[in-house]
Amino acid sequence: MEKVQLHNTINDASETREVEPRQLLVHMLRDSMRLTGVHIGCDTSQCGACTVLLDQETVRSCTVLAVQTEGVSIHTIEGMECDPTVTALKQAFNELHGLQCGFCTPGMLLAARALLLRVRDPSEDAVREALHGNLCRCTGYQNIVDAVLLAAATLREGEAVAIEEACHE
């Protein structure tokens, strides 16, 4: 099958590559770019494990063709090292045991980030609603919800500035 030239930005680096028109974004990121924080759980838009950001919006990369990302800025969890919201979430997940095997965690972090950018002080119900499309087979969800609430409190207290500064040291 004839390949198509694709230009986009992935984790803040400009990329040009040839892709098959039928290749899914999740396969391009995992197989071609070795961005293995993008997980494949269901391949049918059910689990959220393949969540990435397209122009800062959360998207399931198993539902998008790579060629649809022409000119788009893509971020995977690997590109969020210096993001203060993700950093606060990671610390809270670590502190409150919001993960066990970690398979769902990149998708959970990106979905929770999207919530915390919209709502500074979410209720427990709002957290559950925001994460309802991300499945976890290990934790029973309560620790994840608690971790998101803790991260929200950390960010409200302004500790995110310190987190961001630490990242650039």
Nearer to ligand FES, 40 or 126 (CB): 40
In this complex, which beta carbon is closest to ligand FES, that of residue 21 or of residue 102? Answer: 102
Site string for ligand FES, 98-137 (x = CB under 6 A): -xxxxxx-------------------------------xx
Residue closer to ligand FES (CB basis): 88 or 104: 104
- Encode burial over 124-150: b for 16+ CB neighbours within 10 A, e otherwise: eebbeebbeebbbeebebebbbbbbbb
Q: What are phi and psi of 127, to 5 degrees?
A: -65, -45
- Residue nearer to ligand FES on the CB measure, 80 or 103: 103
Q: Compute the half-sphere exposure of residue 74: CA atoms within 13 Å on the CB side of its CA.
A: 30
Q: Figure out which of the listed residues 15, 43, 95, 164 binds ligand FES, where binding follows CB under 6 A.
A: 43
Query: Which parts of 13-42 interact with ligand FES (CB under 6 A)?
Result: 40-42
CB of 76 closer than 8 Å to CB of 10 = yes
| Residue 68 within binding range of ligand FES, rule CB under 6 A | no
- Least Cβ distance, residue 119 to ligand FES (angstroms): 23
Site for ligand FES in 81-100 (CB under 6 A): 99-100
Q: Of 109 and 155, which CB lies nearer to ligand FES in the complex structure? A: 109
How many CB atoms within 10 Å of residue 154?
21
The CA distances from residue 81 to 39, 77, 78, 109, 166, in Å, are 18, 8, 7, 12, 11
Is the distance from CB of 51 to CB of 58 less than 8 angstroms?
yes
CB atoms within 10 A of CB 47: 22
Site of interaction with ligand FES (CB under 6 A): 40-43, 45-50, 60, 62, 99-104, 136-139
